[in-house]
Amino acid sequence: MTVIVVVFINFMLFRVLPGDPVRAVIGRNVRISAETQQALREQFGLDKPVFPDQFFDTLGQWAQGNLGVSWSLRRPVSEVLMSKLWNTLLLIGLGQVLAIIFGVTLGLLAGWKRKTAIDMGALTFSLVAWAIPTFWLGIILLAAGSAWFGLPTAGIVSPANTGKPLITILPDLARHLFLPTLTLTILYLGEYMLIMRSSILDVLSEDYILTSKAKGLSDWQVLWRHALKNAMLPIVTLIALNLGFTVSGAIYIETVFSYDGLGKLFQTALVKQDYPLLQGAFLLLAVSVIIANMAADVLYAVLDPRVKET
Amino acid sequence: MNENRTLFKRNLSDFWKAFRRNKLGLLGGFLVLTAILAATFAPLLSPYMPTEVIRDANGRGLTFAPPSVHAPLGTDDAGRDIWSQLIYGARVSLTVGFLAGFIAMFVGSLFGILAGYFGGRVDNLLMRVTDVLLVIPDLPLMLVLVATLRQMDLRISPLVVLVAVIGLLYWTSTARLIRSQVLTIKERQFVARSRAIGAGHAHIIRKHILPQIMPLIVTNTVLIISTAILVESGLAFLGLGDPTKPSWGAMLNFAFDRSAVTNGAWWFYLPPGFAIVWVTLGCVLLGNVLEEMLNPRLTAHHLESNQNMIAIQKQGGE
């Protein structure tokens, strides 16, 4: 359902644009005759009504993975997207995993020891992390990291190392990945910590916690056996919901660190007004986030038997 | 009517008494208030016009000058005073943030109340729309929307485009929150009684529903404004702001594009970020404190020390 809406939005938005695809193909070559232009229009199907003919034509093309040709790079959009996909997945994956591990642990501690120094520190940190613009944190870390630790300021590997086998460039790769990953982790850490904290607080106000405490279990046993599992449930949904947020973060961070991924590509397409590329990137990002959300819903039902009954 | 007024006034003064005791809330209020004052009195607070180039004795522009007596926060790549840009930038950032926040709040409250109160088709539509907007990654969607609107050559200011796009995308969470609140309120006895003596929908919504959800609306507005300011700064950083009226985000865009980082011009890229954090942090503190004061569920905690437990039980017993 949502996928259909996204596809529809994508189609509508880019049909609203006054740019004529034929004009884009022929570029500034004004000598092409009116007949040739007409022929090209027919070839692209632009002489047919927008709905349903053009819509379903376009849909068919997208379904086959044909997203058109990038205006600025003169290469098929899907090919360009695929070449950047892994770089972004590497960055996002690393940042997310680290953020979840640290965030859940700290959130658990903060919720358990509510109103202590740990809790106050965790809360302050996550508040500030929330209020800081992603790109600004990136800029600060970039400035500090390059000035004080001599870390590289752009790219994924040094130019000298491109094309060499992965094993030999691993240290260089790590040096390049360090700052962008750190930025991502700091930003999302706060988010997970807050969610985990409020989730554990919710669980701790339940009566079965009081019961298990009354039974004589220690705090650790209560947390481990009864609280953690239930408190983790919102995290699962939020990992998926956060994915959209993560994609936004990737656009900022890749722009700041000149990291050669989908986010940087998106920003470049925006600046260069490369609409086929922009459209393709948007479609890919939106659809993958939606699919991840569906997967999370299914997972949630497996983890929480209460959901299945309704 | 009069009775309602005095009740409202008394609630307000109770509220203020409780709020005054909360240091974080006061800090948040202070941060937001100073920013608003700075924006309002910008001409009095800034020694130069934001576009004015400061020149040295030989008439050359003072480019990338570190903070000095001439320019309290240094100058940018063209020799313009950063402090003055920052103060005038407050106007742009705050205006866009507040307007977008209010639009989001208004649309969200309207949809939330209608969906919660009437249910049925309105409710279905709302839930479908929010389902969709909830999962589409917002930044790419906004970038694509803004790019499209600009391409259409509508001759409207980029800032208006930003306000519209942010305002019309960030209302969904509010709408859901208010909807669920309205759902519980409309089932209460006093609403049923009011209906039984012949009160119309408009009367019930105005007299019974609105006063109950007003705290929720206020809290949410504060939080949404902070989101709107953050989002605006991000879009402006990616180059979608108004270059003639730079907000804090647009200043950072200039700073980054003109390699303030590699030039070590920290006075160029640090202040706008601090300003953004100043305001958003203020809003979040304010919003969180309001939320805490209004949400009773956050008071029970069964693993806390026994004294608190007893205190809570005593309160419950009274």
> What kind of fold does domain B12-316 have according to CATH?
MetI-like fold (1.10.3720)
CA-CA distances (angstroms) from residue B291 to A70, A199, B294? 48, 16, 5
CA-CA distances (angstroms) from residue B43 to A93, B213, B312? 47, 39, 53
pLDDT tens-digit series, residues B36-49: 988 888 788 777 77
Q: A286 to chain B: which residues are within 8 Å by CB? A: 136-137, 140-141
CA dihedral of B107, B109, B111, B116, whole degrees rounded to 10: 180
**Mean per-residue pLDDT over chain B, rounded:** 80
User: Residue B260 pLDDT > 90, yes or no?
Assistant: no
Answer yes or no: do B266 and A112 touch at CB < 8 A.
no
CA-CA distances (angstroms) from residue A78 to A117, B221, B293? 51, 41, 51
d(CA A38, CA A34): 6
- Burial string for B50-88 (b: 16+ CB within 10 Å, else e) reads beebbeeeeeebbbbbeeeeebbbbbbbebbbbbbbbbb
User: Residue B8 pLDDT > 80, yes or no?
Assistant: no
Determine contact: B290 vs chain A, CB below 8 A. Answer: no
User: Residue A294 pLDDT > 60, yes or no?
Assistant: yes
Taken in order B284, B287, B290, B292, is the CA torsion positive or negative? negative
Determine contact: B220 vs chain A, CB below 8 A. Answer: no
d(CA A267, CA A258): 11
CA-CA distances (angstroms) from residue B30 to B24, B35, B84, B87, B309? 10, 9, 21, 17, 34
Eight-state DSSP code of residue A223: I
Phi, psi at B161, each rounded to 5°: -60, -45
Phi, psi at A127, each rounded to 5°: -65, -50
How many CB atoms are located within 10 Å of the residue A130 CB?
A: 18
CA-CA distances (angstroms) from residue B176 to A185, B116, B137, B182, B238? 29, 9, 18, 10, 30
Question: Could you tell me the pLDDT band of residue A34, with boundaries at 50, 70 and 90?
Answer: low
Give the one of A115, A244, A270 whose C-beta lies nearest to B135's C-beta.
A244
Lowest average pLDDT, out of B39-48, B124-133, B297-306, goes to B297-306
Answer yes or no: do A2 and B230 touch at CB < 8 A.
no
Question: Helices A275-303 & A2-16, crossing angle to 10 degrees?
Answer: 170
Phi, psi at B81, each rounded to 5°: -70, 125
Instruction: Count Cβ atoms within 10 A of the Cβ of residue A178 and give its class: 0-12 exposed, 13-18 middle, 19 or more buried.
Output: middle
Nearest CA-CA distance, residue B300 and chain A, Å: 5
d(CA B209, CA B201): 10
Q: Please report which helix (H) or strand (E) contains residue A30, including its range.
A: none
Nearest CA-CA distance, residue B262 and chain A, Å: 7
- What mean pLDDT do residues B77-87 have? 81
Q: Which of A14, A109, A118, A139 to mutate to test the interface with B (most CBs of B within 10 A)?
A: A139
- What mean pLDDT do residues B71-90 have? 81
Determine contact: B154 vs chain A, CB below 8 A. Answer: no
Answer yes or no: do B140 and A282 touch at CB < 8 A.
yes
Determine contact: B226 vs chain A, CB below 8 A. Answer: yes
User: Residue B103 pLDDT > 90, yes or no?
Assistant: yes
pLDDT tens-digit series, residues A168-201: 777 777 788 888 888 888 888 888 888 888 888 8
User: Residue A37 pLDDT > 80, yes or no?
Assistant: no
User: Residue A17 pLDDT > 60, yes or no?
Assistant: no
Instruction: Tally C-beta pairs within 8 A across A and B.
Output: 161
d(CA B303, CA A201): 10
How many CB atoms are located within 10 Å of the residue B236 CB?
A: 29
Q: What is the DSSP string of chain B?
A: -HHHHHHHHHHHHHHHHHHHT-HHHHHHHHHHHHHHHHHHTHHHH-SS-TTPBPB-TTS-B-TTPPS-SSSTT-B-TTSBBHHHHHHHHHHHHHHHHHHHHHHHHHHHHHHHHHHHHH-HHHHHHHHHHHHHHHHS-HHHHHHHHHHHHHHTT----HHHHHHHHHHHHS-HHHHHHHHHHHHHHHTSHHHHHHHHTT--HHHHIIIIIHHHHHHHHHHHHHHHHHHHHHHHHHHIIIIIS-TTS--HHHHHHHHHHTTTTTTT-HHHHHHHHHHHHHHHHHHHHHHHHHHHHH-GGGG--TTS-HHHHHHHHHHHH-
Give the one of A130, A204, A244 whose C-beta lies nearest to B303's C-beta.
A204
- What mean pLDDT do residues A225-231 have? 78
How many CB atoms are located within 10 Å of the residue A37 CB?
A: 15
Question: Could you tell me the pLDDT band of residue B99, with boundaries at 50, 70 and 90?
Answer: very high
pLDDT tens-digit series, residues B152-187: 666 778 888 889 889 888 888 888 888 888 888 888
Question: Could you tell me the pLDDT band of residue A58, with boundaries at 50, 70 and 90?
Answer: low
- Give the length of chain A: 310
pTM as predicted: 0.80
Instruction: Take residue A35 and report the two structure tokens written for it.
Output: 């007949």
Answer yes or no: do B137 and A135 touch at CB < 8 A.
no
Looking at residue B312, its pLDDT comes to 45
Higher-confidence position of A40 and B197: B197
**Mean per-residue pLDDT over chain A, rounded:** 76
Answer yes or no: do A271 and B298 touch at CB < 8 A.
no
